[in-house]
A and B are shown apart, each in its own frame.
Chain A
């Protein structure tokens, strides 16, 4: 079974530029997550999708960050314009949890995209 795919793996941009990250979850996984991991910290949830609907985006800086999950499969996360403090690893994760599944849920993470904002 293929894992969670992310691209690009690395990106360097100047502040005020735009950037987009792509994620392809494990086939059949209904739930998709985007996390931001700043150096020395644990991953922080930015947004959670259930199929193509947003479940939780309470920690997404909506003035500059946006995300979409078209057709309930792939997802893109965009930053426009980027700030120095956006330098981090952006992790995508997916899980098989559907709306009616209430049992333990394991999130599977992709390798991440390391963003450096200069």
Chain B
């Protein structure tokens, strides 16, 4: 039972363009959502989060959008840079300090 799904295994984008990574969830108890970024041979690092009381959170080039009615969130990276090439995981939790449930990850490749 996959409660958090990232349906695109990979995404390829040109440098300078927008990258949009998508995530869907099924559990209506999830109230807090996060994105993590992972480089090869390293652990995931926290990128950005959003609480269900918001529909958008922005941090520099990264913006996360939440559509609670559709149980969908997305991460926008503008402009994309080659250093953004990594695996991106979305995660969800029932509270801001609760147990994280991760999606399968999306491999982002940004071409120079």
Which A residues have a C-beta under 8 Å from some C-beta of B? Answer: 4, 40-45, 48, 56, 91, 93, 97, 101-112
Contacts and interface: CB of A to CB of B under 8 A. Distances in A.
A3 B6 CA distance: 28
B49 interface: yes
A42 B105 contact: yes
- List of 9 A-B pairs having minimum Cβ-Cβ separation, nearest first: A42-B102, A109-B43, A104-B96, A105-B97, A109-B44, A106-B46, A43-B102, A110-B43, A42-B103
Given A97-B97, A104-B32, A104-B96, A40 B104 contact: yes
Given A93-B43, A109-B44, A43 B89 contact: yes
Contact of B49 (A41, A44, A102, A104): A104
Contact of A102 (B6, B41, B97): B97
Contacts of B99: 45, 48, 56
A52 to B, nearest CB: 19
A90 B51 CA distance: 28
28 contacts: A40-B104, A40-B105, A41-B105, A42-B6, A42-B89, A42-B103, A42-B105, A43-B89, A43-B102, A44-B102, A45-B100, A56-B99, A91-B43, A97-B97, A102-B97, A103-B96, A103-B97, A104-B51, A105-B96, A105-B97, A106-B46, A107-B46, A108-B43, A109-B36, A109-B43, A109-B44, A110-B43, A111-B43
